[in-house]
């Protein structure tokens, strides 16, 4: 099978054609253009993969601590009958677990050290049906929470900040207080630390404490659970299921799903991802349009060859095709090389980043700032395919003007001084 001569000649020009200093320089410029495209594509794939991984890692760690959906009393008081509410919610086939809870904010004190905290009153056995963390700790740490004994489980980071360990005493200060003739006296209760947990999410490890739901009802005087937590078969269906439950309960129950509770954070990540895509695409565009200068120099250098081809019967369209092939070949090589490089780094970033951190003796992701301490990566086809297509299209567009210039070369003018 004989290839069209446009492909053969265009590929030969891509490899610099005949020897000579000028041709080697053109080949160098062409190589730089391909390298620029490759690095731009690789940077796009790596950055978007890291952002995808970061979002997935934070989401998974967050959902190991919090429920997919929460059903709350609109006024913030106790639900009249949480069991009936839970049974009604379970009629949705997507719901596979339910548990009562009390959630509020309070202060936790150890000596003179005091911190703000999120207190969650739970039923240890029921809680294991809705969160992965509780399922993991059900038979160990959470089994030590008994009603009336006022035991407390602290996030690992919070325990380190307060310098407490199992068996130590801490004091919870409830919001509001008790009115006495001497004024408003804050409600205090001493709890015994029965264990700690590490969810891998700094926000919860440094602020969340778990106590028995009966102890929480007594301390905060709620009279019972203030809400019901639900677990779903598919976390991505939380918003749709939440809308169904809200329509089912009406105004009697407030329905909150995890996507709305953390909406600002996830929206910010999506905006950042779009902006990074646009910025890095511009880098690919700059590299792609470097092909213009390479092809213009090639056309200028090959005018005699173009003239000879024209005298042998080549049409302007064929001449244009030769240089389109040359530019497209550079774009394809650069794009494929960048894709392979980007995927290689993205799939091995858990090895590469620790090596660089060890080499530079630094930490790229302090857990106190970035929620997680390791750099995750998750390459997604929905990101990679548009990157490859955009790079190829930009490379092709960059070849059009120089190729058109080549097709306009007049044989007589080109051979006058040869």
Cα–Cα separations (whole angstroms), residue 33 to 27, 261, 305, 390 = 10, 46, 23, 16
The verdict on pTM exceeding 0.75 is: no
Residue 273 has a pLDDT of 82
pLDDT confidence of residue 19: 47
Largest Cα–Cα distance in the chain? 111
What angle (nearest 5°) sits at the alpha carbon of residue 51, between those of residues 45 and 56? 120
The pair phi, psi for residue 153, each rounded to 5°, is -115, 125
pLDDT score of 317: 78
Q: How would you class 232 by CB atoms within 10 Å of its CB: exposed for 0-12, middle for 13-18, buried for 19 or more?
A: buried
- The tokens describing 47, both together, are 């950055």
The answer to whether 196 touches 133, Cβ cutoff 8 Å, is no
Q: Around Cβ 362, how many Cβ atoms within 10 Å?
A: 9
Instruction: Give the chain's count of helices (H) and strands (E).
Output: 17, 11
Q: Which residues, other chains included, contact 159 with Cβ-Cβ below 8 Å and sequence gap of 6+? A: 165, 193, 196
* Look-up of token digits 């489980």: 153
Distance CA 379, CA 46 (A): 8
Alpha-carbon gap, residue 129 to 138, rounded angstroms: 10
What is the CB neighbour count within 10 angstroms for residue 253? 20
pLDDT in single tens digits along all 418 residues of the chain: 444 545 555 556 555 544 445 556 566 777 777 888 898 899 999 988 988 888 888 788 888 888 899 998 877 778 888 888 899 999 888 999 999 999 999 999 998 888 999 999 999 989 999 999 999 998 889 999 999 999 999 999 999 999 999 999 999 998 876 666 655 667 889 999 999 998 877 888 889 999 999 999 999 888 889 999 999 998 888 889 999 999 888 888 889 988 887 777 777 777 888 888 888 888 888 877 777 777 777 777 666 766 777 677 777 777 777 777 777 888 888 899 999 999 999 999 888 888 887 888 877 766 555 556 677 888 988 889 999 999 888 888 888 877 887 777 666 565 555 5
Give the residue among 29, 7, 42, 40 at the shortest CA–CA distance from 292: 29
Q: How many beta carbons lie within 10 A of that of residue 58, not counting itself?
A: 22
Q: Output the pLDDT for position 371.
A: 55
Rounded to an integer, what distance in angstroms lies between the CA atom of residue 174 and that of residue 109? 11
pLDDT given for residue 329 in this prediction: 81
Of 105, 136, 138, which is closest to residue 122 (Cα–Cα)? 138
Q: How many CB atoms lie within 10 A of CB 176?
A: 10
pLDDT at 96: 92
């Amino acid at each position: 099978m004989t290839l069209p001569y446009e492909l053969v000649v265009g590929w030969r020009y891509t490899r610099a054609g005949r020897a000579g200093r000028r041709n080697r320089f053109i080949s160098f410029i062409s190589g730089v253009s391909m390298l620029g495209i490759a690095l731009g594509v690789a940077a796009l794939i790596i950055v978007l993969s890291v952002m995808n991984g970061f979002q997935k890692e934070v989401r998974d760690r967050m959902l190991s601590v919090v429920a997919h959906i929460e059903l709350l009393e609109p006024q913030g008081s106790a639900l009249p009958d949480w069991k009936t509410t839970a049974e009604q919610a379970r009629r949705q086939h997507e719901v596979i677990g339910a548990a009562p809870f009390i959630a509020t904010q309070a202060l936790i004190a150890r000596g003179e050290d005091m911190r703000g905290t999120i207190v969650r009153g739970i039923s240890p056995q029921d809680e294991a049906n809705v969160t992965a963390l509780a399922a993991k700790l059900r038979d160990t740490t959470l089994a030590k929470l008994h009603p009336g004994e006022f035991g407390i489980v602290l996030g690992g980071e919070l325990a380190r900040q307060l310098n407490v360990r199992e068996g130590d005493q801490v004091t919870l200060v409830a919001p509001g207080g008790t009115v006495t003739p001497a004024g408003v006296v804050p409600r205090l209760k001493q709890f015994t630390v029965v264990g700690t947990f590490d969810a891998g999410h700094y926000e919860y490890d440094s602020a969340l404490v778990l106590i028995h739901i009966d102890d929480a009802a007594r301390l905060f005087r709620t009279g019972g659970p203030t809400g019901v937590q639900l677990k779903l078969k598919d976390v991505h269906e939380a918003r749709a299921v939440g809308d169904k439950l809200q329509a089912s309960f009406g105004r009697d129950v407030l329905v909150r799903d995890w996507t709305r509770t953390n909406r600002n954070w996830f929206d910010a990540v999506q905006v950042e991802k779009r902006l990074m895509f646009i910025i890095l695409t511009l880098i690919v565009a700059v590299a792609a349009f470097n092909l213009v200068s390479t092809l213009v120099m090639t056309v200028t250098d090959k005018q005699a060859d173009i003239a000879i081809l024209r005298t042998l019967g080549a049409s302007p369209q064929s001449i244009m095709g030769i240089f389109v092939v040359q530019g497209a070949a550079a774009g394809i090589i650069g794009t494929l090389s960048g894709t392979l490089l980007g995927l290689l780094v993205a799939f091995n970033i858990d090895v590469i980043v620790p090596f660089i951190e060890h080499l530079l003796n630094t930490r790229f992701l302090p857990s106190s700032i970035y929620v997680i301490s390791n750099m995750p990566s998750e390459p997604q086809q929905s990101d990679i395919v548009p990157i490859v297509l955009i790079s190829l299209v930009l490379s092709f567009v960059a070849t059009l003007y120089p190729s058109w210039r080549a097709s306009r070369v007049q044989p007589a003018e080109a051979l006058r001084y040869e």
